[in-house]
Amino acid sequence: MTQPFPLLLGTLAGMFLTYVAAVALIFAHDSAARILGASAWMLMSLLYLPTLRFYSLSPLWAPLLPLVAAFYSYATLLSAARHYLGRGAQWKGRSQTHRPR
């Protein structure tokens, strides 16, 4: 059985490298890194447009994809921490804990 902690770390690292690192490269000193970062951000924004169209949202949301990904990464980490602490999912003030069999 695969251990959950390395999977969580791998997931968060993948989210960081995919979304946040591209934006961070824009602020690099090297011009090639800035071009690559801007290109990656532009491509991910363009590839997000069909999803925005499907949900009838403005295309102005597309450049915010790294921010959305950062939020979902935080939510993933928080959910894993709650699961590890035995608190379960929480919604509207209610907790859904795992019941032992």
Instruction: Identify whether 100 is part of a domain.
Output: no
Q: Is residue 59 part of a domain?
A: yes
Per-residue pLDDT at 79: 84
Q: Which residue type, as a one-letter code, is found at position 75?
A: A
Contact 100, 49 (CB under 8 A): no
What's the confidence (pLDDT) of residue 101?
52
Angle in degrees, CA 74, 66, 96, rounded to 5: 25
The pLDDT of residue 92 is 65
**Residues 60 and 10: beta-carbon distance below 8 Å:** no
Which pTM was predicted?
0.74
Regions of the chain with pLDDT less than 50? none
Residue 81 lies in a domain: yes
- Which pLDDT score, from 0 to 100, does residue 85 have? 80
Structural domains counted in the chain? 1
Domain hosting 24: range is: 4-85
Percent of the chain with pLDDT over 90: 61
